[in-house]
Amino acid sequence: MVQALDNVHVVITGASDGLGYAMAEALLNKGATVALASRPGSKLTEAIKKLKAPLMIEQGKGRIINISMNHETMKRKGFVPYGPSRAATESLSAIMAEDLKESGISVNMLLPGGATATGMIPDDLRSEIEAKFQLMQPEVMAEPIIFLASSEAEGISGERIVASEFESWLKEKSK
């Protein structure tokens, strides 16, 4: 189990609800210093990237953990602009992982691994969807986000980690 995250500083975007909130809460509970960011939109996300990456490069260390979704959901009808934005985030993550690998900064992607009870489900459809599907809880992201922010993840970069499969992924990585 990951030790305390004292002296770990994290920025969580989309932190007002759902996955972002659950991950921020998990990191805070482990002692990390967490900055929460949410809407008004892409300008905020871009500002964080522009402000934090140079600081991380200067310090010679850092963790960038971008949140994604499964590939089928990215292409689902009605998921514009969110689906394409996640596809772009995956491309950005892969490029940044390569560009930053010599700087001590890791860049990884984390996704829940299935339909998750978040604000992405319209209120008027929630009961219908919950009747058909077993929705995952946002807390599925807690253990993997804590791991990725910790020193135990040193050297892990360029990964696309599915939270619901985290334990098996971690066992495979440990071999």
pLDDT the model gives residue 5: 87
29-64 in b/e form (b: 16+ CB < 10 A) is ebebebeebeeeeeeebeebbeebbeebeeeeebbb
Question: What whole-number distance in Å separates Cα of residue 44 and Cα of residue 64?
Answer: 15
| Number of other residues whose CB lies within 10 A of the CB of residue 143 | 16
Per-residue pLDDT at 62: 87
Contact 109, 89 (CB under 8 A): yes
Q: What is the CATH number of domain 9-174?
A: 3.40.50.720
- What are the φ/ψ torsions at residue 42 (nearest 5 degrees)? -65, -25
pLDDT at 161: 98
Residue 39: its pLDDT value, please? 60
Mean pLDDT by 10 residues, the chain (175 residues): 82 77 85 74 57 74 89 83 86 90 91 86 84 91 95 95 97 90
- Tell me the pTM: 0.76
Alpha helices in the chain (DSSP H): 18-29, 42-59, 71-74, 82-100, 123-132, 142-149, 166-174
Residue 93: closest CA among 54, 115, 63: 63
Domain assignments of the chain as residue spans, ordered by start: 9-174
Phi/psi at 107 (5° precision)? -130, 120
**Tokens of residue 3, six digits:** 């030790």
pLDDT of residue 158: 97
Alpha carbon distance 121, 148 (integer Å): 27
Cα 75 from Cα 164, distance rounded (Å): 21
